[in-house]
A and B are shown apart, each in its own frame.
Chain A
Amino acid sequence: EDQVTQSPEALRLQEGESSSLNCSYTVSGLRGLFWYRQDPGKGPEFLFTLYSAGEEKEKERLKATLTKKESFLHITAPKPEDSATYLCAVQKGGSEKLVFGKGTKLTVNP
């Protein structure tokens, strides 16, 4: 069965304190790994798609990387507005549905 595990469940950082979020996955025939950001009571907002091991993508203070077993979301010098829940999801070949992890709730204190 496809599984996605995110760690830690919650993370508190001081503004400017860089860190990484982890997403471990088990899926046969990975088609894509997706990162979303979700603010309380709102819909997930698309951040990145990664397709193959070794791939990296960046957007502002965020950088996503992918290996054969996990993905990392690196946050460099975070700001309070980066506070949100970050969701990881996988999509397997032959299917369009996303299988989500439970997310990492990030709080960045000023």
Chain B
Amino acid sequence: DSGVTQTPKHLITATGQRVTLRCSPRSGDLSVYWYQQSLDQGLQFLIQYYNGEERAKGNILERFSAQQFPDLHSELNLSSLELGDSALYFCASSQQQTSTDTQYFGPGTRLTVL
């Protein structure tokens, strides 16, 4: 158990809908990262938050957004869902206090868009 929690574990929804994925980082970790894992693309970095502020953006679609709250949990919002958005979404967290910045991953949310 990495200490990172994600809810829900599974999500099934229809095209055009909007969903919210939630992540709680390990105790003491200030950074939260979101990754998408699909069969053909592998793990792709989406976005990073550090202590409530957006820190880095990857290949995140404009239909997707995220935020990190004062208690450091984070939410990833996916809107106008398409079939191709079906994937595993992982959250990771790290302390980011030193250069040895290991990211620990949560169990993921499996999103299925029908």
- Specify whether A and B are partners: yes
Can you report 10 A-B residue pairs in the complex whose CB atoms are below 8 A from each other? A44-B90, A44-B105, A46-B103, A46-B104, A96-B103, A97-B45, A98-B35, A98-B45, A100-B42, A103-B42
How many contacting A-B pairs (Cβ < 8 A)?
60
Nearest 8 A-B pairs (CB), nearest first?
A43-B105, A100-B43, A102-B42, A97-B45, A44-B105, A43-B107, A43-B108, A43-B106
- In B18-46, the 8 Å CB interface with A consists of 31, 33, 35, 42-45
What's the interface size class on B, roughly?
A: 20 to 34
The answer on a CB contact under 8 Å between A42 and B42 is no
What's the interface size class on A, roughly?
A: 20 to 34
Residues in chain A near residue B100, CB distance under 8 A: 32, 49
**CB nearest neighbor in A for B4:** A43
The answer on a CB contact under 8 Å between A97 and B33 is yes
| Bound CA–CA A80/B57 (angstroms) | 38
Q: Judge whether A99 is part of the interface by a CB distance below 8 angstroms.
A: yes
Residues in chain A near residue B45, CB distance under 8 A: 97-99
Give the Cβ gap from B94 to chain A, nearest Cβ, in Å.
7
Interface string of B82-114 (1 = CB under 8 A from A): 000000101000101001111111111010000
| Bound CA–CA A103/B104 (angstroms) | 17
| Bound CA–CA A87/B58 (angstroms) | 19
Give the Cβ gap from A25 to chain B, nearest Cβ, in Å.
14
**CB nearest neighbor in B for A43:** B105
The answer on a CB contact under 8 Å between A43 and B2 is yes
Residues in chain A near residue B96, CB distance under 8 A: 96
Q: Judge whether A28 is part of the interface by a CB distance below 8 angstroms.
A: no
